[in-house]
């Protein structure tokens, strides 16, 4: 008879405790970690089972690993746990700026393309480098700041700053052409509008428009005024200022009378004054002027000779003077009488009566005529002769007429007392 005897152990295996693993690092999101776990058993050679297993990808951070073991008798070891910690990349890349990148814009340029390279290193590759402005950009004259940023796969960044310098360009100032002084300007007032042309040229820009103070076309006062002109090209180069002088001459020419003023004569007649008219006309190159005479035209001039002075004055104060004589004579002619007629009166009482008569008119200058007997005298009956005389510096005149007093009664003699005319 045969039978089988099975002997089973009852002691479970023992898993050796493994220390935590914390020295794992990765450039990405996970790291492959290897480890060895030992198990001892009285009877068997036991292989442990770990979750996650050795060689797995462990994410950045801490992960618990649990290991179990069982012998052939089915005895299970007490699970053993340890921790795997994976550290991510937190080291920024190294970034080296280029050394003094430069460019040349040439003689009249204002920019140049400049190439440069910012070098980056990192434990975790690849590394991207971005520069603003980028290499190969067109850089303006002078210094331009550039910033470069390097980033590794873990997002760590580094920055450097440097300057790109572009030299050359337009560094020659424009030239202003000299302008001769302006001296041929005259004016009838106190200012004159003066225009001029100033030219400037530049090696890069060509013709340049200068700025002048005072500018062309403005009003310049009488006398000398300095004009200063400056110019600047598009690169900011300033020309040497150019100065010239504008001289404005005021009106110094006096007016001119159109003709020499001739002496005038006038007749005062029987009076002592004569009104005399005349005209003084003058012209001036500057237009408006004032002409005055003393005494003025249409004045009453006395008998004799009077000097008249006429003055013409223009707007600039220039004056011209002309003199002439006005001679007034007294036109004395010998006196004369006009026709005279006898005076007839009737005496109602046949006696002497006072008779008034008109004195005969006279010609020439002098006092009025005097008659004898005078008008208003007592005239006797009959005819009485009246004699009138008048005189002046040139001579005298005489005329006679009769005053006839009549009545209807026959005449009779009567001794008349008093003054009476002849019969």
List the CATH number of the domain containing 402.
Answer: 2.60.40
Query: Helix, strand, or coil here: 4?
Result: coil
How far apart, in Å, are the Cα atoms of 191 and each of 186, 219, 246, 380?
Answer: 9, 6, 12, 94
Distance CA 162, CA 142 (A): 13
| 418's tokens | 């008093």
Which domain, by its residues, includes 141?
94-167
pLDDT of residue 238: 95
pLDDT digits (tens, 9 = 90+) for 170-221: 889 999 999 999 998 988 888 999 999 999 999 998 999 999 999 999 999 9
Same domain, residue pair 324 and 340: no
pLDDT of residue 366: 63
Same domain, residue pair 293 and 231: no
pLDDT digits (tens, 9 = 90+) for 38-54: 999 888 888 899 999 99
In a domain? residue 414: no
Domains held by the chain: number: 5
Distance CA 130, CA 147 (A): 8
Closest CA to 423 of 363, 369, 388, 383: 383
Residues of the chain with pLDDT under 70: 3-9, 364, 366-367, 409-423
| 234's tokens | 């598009």
CATH number at residue 314: 2.60.40.10
Domain C-terminal end among 287, 308, 329: 329
In a domain? residue 380: yes
How far apart, in Å, are the Cα atoms of 423 and each of 22, 166, 346, 383, 404?
Answer: 188, 146, 16, 5, 10
pLDDT of residue 416: 47
Mean pLDDT score across all residues of the chain: 87
Same domain, residue pair 70 and 105: no
pLDDT of residue 94: 87
């Amino acid at each position: 008879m045969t039978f089988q005897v099975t002997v089973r152990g009852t002691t479970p295996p023992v898993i050796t405790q493994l220390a935590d693993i914390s020295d794992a690092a990765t450039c990405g999101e996970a790291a492959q970690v290897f480890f060895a776990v030992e198990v001892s058993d009285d009877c068997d050679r036991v292989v442990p089972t770990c979750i996650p297993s050795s060689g797995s990808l462990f994410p950045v951070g801490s992960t618990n690993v649990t290991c179990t073991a069982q012998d052939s008798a089915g005895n299970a070891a007490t699970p053993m746990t340890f921790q795997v910690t994976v550290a991510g990349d937190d080291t920024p890349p190294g970034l080296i700026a280029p050394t003094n990148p430069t460019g040349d814009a040439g003689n009249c340029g204002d920019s140049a393309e400049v190439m440069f390279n910012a070098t980056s290193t990192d434990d975790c590759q690849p590394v991207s480098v971005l520069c603003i402005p980028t290499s190969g950009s067109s850089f303006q004259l002078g210094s331009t700041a550039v910033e470069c940023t390097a980033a590794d796969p873990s997002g760590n960044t580094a920055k450097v700053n440097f300057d790109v310098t572009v030299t050359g360009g337009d560094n020659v100032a424009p030239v202003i052409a000299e302008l001769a002084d302006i001296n041929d300007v005259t004016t009838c007032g106190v200012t004159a509008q003066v225009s001029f042309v100033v030219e400037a040229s530049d090696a890069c820009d060509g013709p340049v428009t200068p700025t002048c103070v005072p500018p062309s076309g403005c009003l310049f006062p009488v006398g000398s005024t300095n004009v200063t002109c400056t110019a600047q090209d598009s690169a900011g180069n300033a020309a040497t200022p150019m100065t010239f002088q504008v001289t404005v001459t005021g009106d110094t020419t006096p007016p001119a009378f159109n003709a020499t003023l001739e002496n005038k004569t006038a007749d005062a007649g029987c009076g002592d004054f004569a009104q005399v008219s005349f005209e003084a006309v003058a012209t001036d190159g500057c237009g408006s002027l004032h002409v005055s005479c003393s005494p003025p035209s249409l004045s009453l001039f006395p008998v004799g000779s009077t000097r008249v002075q006429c003055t013409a004055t223009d707007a600039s104060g220039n004056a011209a003077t002309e003199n002439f004589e006005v001679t007034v004579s007294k036109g004395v002619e010998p006196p004369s009488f006009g026709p005279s007629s006898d005076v007839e009166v009737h005496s109602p009482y046949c006696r002497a009566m006072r008779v008034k008569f008109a004195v005969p008119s006279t010609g020439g200058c002098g006092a009025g005529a005097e008659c004898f007997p005078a008008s208003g005298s007592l005239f006797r009956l009959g005819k009485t002769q009246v004699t009138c005389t008048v005189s002046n510096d040139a001579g005298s005149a005489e005329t006679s007429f009769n005053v006839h007093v009549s009545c209807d009664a026959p005449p009779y003699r009567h001794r008349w007392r008093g003054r009476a005319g002849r019969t």
